[in-house]
Structure formats: C-alpha cells, structure tokens
Amino acid sequence: GFFQTSNDHEALIARPKDFTDNAVPSGNSVATDVLLRLAALTGDEGYAGLAESILLLLRESMMRYPLGFGRLLSALEQTISRPQEIAIIGEPADARTQALLSEVRKRFLPNAVLAGAATDAAAASVAVLMPLLAGRSQTNGAPTAYVCENFACQLPVTEPQALARQLGNT
C-alpha cells in the first residue's frame, strides 16, 4: 500500500498507511481508483498493476469487513467489469458538443472514463499520452462521440440520441 507521507517528510515514529474507508475514503482506496482510471485512459497496464497489488494486499480484509472498504470495493468492481471509455471530439463551446457531454453526464457511469479534444489535430497531438483519442476525429466536421471498451469502439455518433443508445448497450 501507499504511505500517507512522502519519503522526505519529517521523521515520524511510524509512517502511516491508512487502508480502511470511513466517511472519507482512505488514500489507498482513492489511489487504487485513480490508478485504474489512468490505466483505462492511457492504456498503461503498469497503473493497473499497482492498483491490483493493493487489491491483492487487502483481499482478506475486504472479505472479512466489507463495510470498511466501500471505495476499495468499488475499485475492485472496476477490475471485474472493464470500464466504458468515452471519447468526444468537438469544440467545447459548440452546443452540439455540449449536448453529447450532457448525454454522458446525466447517467450514473461509475466505471466510465471520459476523454475529449477540441479538434482532430488536438486529439492526434495527445494520442501518445491518451491512446483513447488515437485515430478519433469528427465526422463531417460535427462533434463526434466514441463509446469503447478496451480501446475497441462502436461506430462514431454525432447525435445525442445515438450516443444514448450506445451508452445503454454497454
């Protein structure tokens, strides 16, 4: 697990590692969730490996006392069901882009990751860091959404209703 202090922090009797979730999730639970989301956005399985090491470390504790690991159990669920990957290419100020974003945001999609770029060129320029945007472009100059799983995407859509159907199918 991760410590709550850095290596160069003032000397403590013991460096704390908090694992259990309370009203505020533990740092390790949040880190696990973030690492899994980074893996989904970047395709870097190193992030997923770090997250899975925390899950393995705490598997017995989660089984014995699940109420103490609510956020960590949510992260575990992300490893069981692959996250939805959603990419939207379109100018943020464009009402059509906002309509696509609204369609995503009005849903409870706890395992979804959302990436966006304003233009085809912007998507191409960040594709090295975020492969979810690689090869994604607008369709006929219209803001376009892609719903993917494990970087394999359904057909691109430009209408909120079509995006709603795709989000409902995954």
Domain count, the chain: 2
- Residues 62 and 94 both lie in one domain: no
- Residues 116 and 129 both lie in one domain: yes
149, pLDDT greater than 60: yes
The pTM score is 0.82
Which domain does 75 fall in, by range?
1-80
- Residues 73 and 2 both lie in one domain: yes
pLDDT confidence of residue 15: 63
Any idea which residue has 């000397």 for tokens? Answer: 11
pLDDT confidence of residue 157: 98
pLDDT digits (tens, 9 = 90+) for 51-73: 999 999 999 999 999 999 999 99
Query: What are the residue ranges of helices labelled H in 58-159?
Result: 59-64, 70-80, 95-105, 120-126
- Residues 63 and 89 both lie in one domain: no
Q: Tell me the Cα Rg of the chain.
A: 19
Could you list the beta-strand ranges (E) of the chain. 84-89, 113-117, 144-149, 152-153
Average pLDDT over residues 74-84: 90
pLDDT confidence of residue 155: 97
Average pLDDT over residues 37-51: 93
pLDDT band at 45 (very low <50, low <70, confident <90, very high): very high
Choose between 99 and 127: higher pLDDT: 99
- Residues 17 and 71 both lie in one domain: yes
Q: Which helix (H) or strand (E) holds 57?
A: helix 45-57
Distances (CA, A) of 38 to 13, 18, 132: 33, 22, 11
pLDDT confidence of residue 5: 64
- Residues 94 and 65 both lie in one domain: no
99, pLDDT greater than 60: yes
